[in-house]
Amino acid sequence: MARRGLRTLLLSGLFAAALAGAATAQVLEVAVDASPVGLDPHRATAFSTFQIINGTIYEGLTAIDKDLRVQPGLAASWTIAPDGKTYTFKLRPGMTFHDGSKVEAADVVATIHRVLSKEIASPLASRLAALDTATAPDAATVVLHLKEPSAPLLVSIATIAIVPRSMETEKEALQRAPIGTGPFKFKEWQANGFVALEKNPHYWRAGAPKLDGVKFNIVPESATRQVGISSGQYSMLPNIDAATALQLKGKPGVKLAETLELAYSFVAVNTSRPPFDNAKVREAVNYALNRQEIIAAALFGAGVPAGPLSPALKDWATPTSAFPCYKYDPAKAQALLKEAGHTAPVAISINVLPRQDIRDIAQVVQAQLNKAGFKVELKNQELGQFIQDWRNSNFDMFASANAGSPDPDDYFYRTFRTGGSTNVFKYSNPEIDGLLDTARTMQDAAQRRAAYDKAQRILACDGPVMHIAYGQLFTALRTNVQGFEIIANRSLATLADTTAK
């Protein structure tokens, strides 16, 4: 009898210890919905990877702060030559990589060569398109020579993670075992289970990080994630949508951080074939859309009507009140369709990105367009099919969402310039081309702002993309988590200053 009692005691003790084990070390338990596609910052550019590595494991020469402005990163300072073609960066002293090697200018140069190399085939290469040469005159100085002035350069290089020079030609190693300079270093990746990071004790910024580690648990089912944060097993659900946030609102022990998203939802049209080759029909779509109603119906009211640039970009965005076609007016839409020569309802189909909020938005768009002289068929597609049709410009209209960028050139040039690399709409407008070509080389901020203001006014009503909404972005946290700041580009870089007591 006594023996049995002892065994029960021992077992329950073990059980309790197993449950309590996680609480002793200060490891932040984060639940995310998808596995990273790899951990190489130059090859894996999917969002599932970005939120785990950006600002936690890896850092760039510059950094983007919570107001989406450029700050010093690994470079403590920089100077720009008067012609705008030479940038000289001074690295901070005494920095090391997670493998113990020193961070020197040669590592930065090797990183840039790695991003541009054919073998690595990095999707980030185009961000360095303006670059001519990169040199390291001494161990603490990096000089970038450009072919032509590039205003967005400082923003572009924030996303180029600096890696050790030994990785320059190494193709697979970083995918599984990343080596960066950030506040956390890689510890373990259990495929489909979790990615665990631990404190980098040699981090260059004094007093950071405060946590002993961060564990990204991969939990695909939304209901499971919600139960996990309600019960306290997880302490953070980063970058969740309004629907999930609403369900967690008011749960004891849970708080929400929120910000206006840089990412936007939109519908876009093919300007290379009827009916949307006609600018009047594109304008009609804008008059037919009631953006407030879409936000109320599909985004639970959490969002603002979208112009071409997010109001989160305080320095750049032109307010939507400046766009005449943003006034909801279905009669005007029908009149425009008549002017364009359409007497019967205009039959079109919409390819829909397989994501719940986009599906919801597409349904409201369908109803609104049907009221204004269109006849809309929705095609709910599987992701592979959607991407294929997108790439081949095989659509009348599609509904989707894009991550935004802190600099307007990064979005506008490749999307709206004639022949731009993601201009799948085949949009071509000489006036826009001229504006975008000159704006990217302008050194004067006010001049540049004026050029993009003009571009936004044209794109809003004539362009191939009807921007719908910038949603509200949420991160759910346990109330004991302090110091975390949500950033509109979905980076979790502020984990460096987060505590969980």
Partner 1 sequence: MLRRLILGRLVDLAFVLVCVSIVVFAMIRLIPGDAVAIMLGANTEVTPEKVAALRAQIGLDQPMAVQYWHWIAKAVQGDLGTSLWTGKPVAAEIAAHVWPTLQLTMLALVLGAGLAVPAGCLMARLRGRGADAAMRVVTVAGLTIPSFWLGIVMILALATLAPSLQLLGYVPFADDPLGNLARLALPATALGLPILANLSRLVRSAMLDALGQDYIRTARAKGVPERGIVYRHALRNALIPFVTSVGIMTGYLLGGAIVVEQVFAIPGLGRLILGAIAERNYPLLQATILVVTLGFVVVNFCVDLLYLAIDPRVRA
**Sites of contact with partner 1 (CB under 8 A):** 11, 14-15, 18-19, 22, 35, 37-38, 44-46, 118, 121, 123, 126, 171-172, 175-176, 190-194, 217-221, 223-224, 227-228, 230-234, 353, 382-388, 390-391, 400, 402-403, 414, 421-422
Vertex 500 angle, CA 496 and 501, to 5°: 135
Q: How many other C-beta atoms are found inside a 10 Å radius of the C-beta of residue 177?
A: 14
DSSP 342: -
Q: Work out how close the CB of 358 gets to partner 1 at its nearest, in angstroms, rounded to a whole number.
A: 11
Q: Which is nearer to partner 1, 19 or 347 (CB)?
A: 19
Q: Which residue lies nearer to partner 1 by CB, 141 or 222? A: 222
Distance (Å, whole) CA 97 – CA 495: 19
Using DSSP, state whether 302 is helix, strand or coil. Answer: coil
Provide the β-strand partners of residue 103.
none
Kindly tell me which of 81 and 121 has the beta carbon lying closer to partner 1: 121
Q: How far is the CB of 290 from partner 1 (least distance, A)?
A: 26
Residues 422 and 387: beta-carbon distance below 8 Å: no
The token pair that represents 182 in the structure block: 């950030």
Rounded Cα gap, residues 483 and 5, in angstroms: 46
Say which DSSP state 160 is in.
S
Under DSSP, is residue 430 helix (H, G, I), strand (E, B) or coil?
Answer: helix
Provide, rounded to whole angstroms, the least separation between the CB of residue 20 and partner 1: 10
Nearer to partner 1, 218 or 306 (CB): 218
Q: How far apart are CA 426 and CA 428, in angstroms?
A: 6
Provide the minimum distance between the beta carbon of 15 and partner 1 in the complex, in angstroms, as a whole number.
5
Q: Which of 104, 77, 462, 125 is nearest to 278 (CA)?
A: 462
Q: To the nearest whole angstrom, how small is the minimum distance from the Cβ of residue 190 to partner 1?
A: 6
User: In terms of CB distance, is 8 or 79 closer to partner 1?
Assistant: 8
Which CB atom, from 265 or from 334, has the smaller least distance to partner 1?
265
Query: Rounded to whole angstroms, how far apart are CA atoms 342 and 322?
Result: 28
Q: Shortest CA distance to 487 belongs to which of 498, 473, 476?
A: 473
Distance CA 11, CA 17 (A): 10
Q: Judged by CB, which is closer to partner 1: 227, or 347?
A: 227
Nearer to partner 1, 153 or 325 (CB): 153
Tokens 């924030």 locate to 158
- d(CA 258, CA 484) in angstroms, rounded, equals 11
AA letter at 110: A
- The residue among 234 and 470 lying less far from partner 1, judged by its C-beta, is 234
* Least gap, CB of 176 to partner 1 (angstroms): 6
Asked if 48 and 35 touch (Cβ cutoff 8 Å), the reply is: yes
Nearest to 142 by CA among 171, 182, 177, 104: 104
Nearest distance, CB of residue 313 and partner 1, angstroms: 18
Indicate the residue among 15 and 205 with the shorter CB distance to partner 1.
15
The nearest distance, CB 349 to partner 1, in angstroms, is 16
DSSP states of 319-333: PGGG-GGGS--HHHH
Is the CB of residue 146 less than 8 Å from the CB of residue 132? yes
Nearer CB in complex with partner 1: 219/493 = 219
Q: In whole angstroms, how close is the CB of 191 to partner 1 at the nearest point?
A: 5
Run of H or E including 385: helix 383-391
Cis peptide before 36 (omega within 30 of 0): no
- Helices 408-416 and 430-439 sit at what angle, rounded to 10 degrees? 150
By C-beta, is 171 or 255 nearer to partner 1? 171
Smallest distance, partner 1 to C-beta of residue 44, A: 8
DSSP for 279-294 reads: HHHHHHHHHH--HHHH
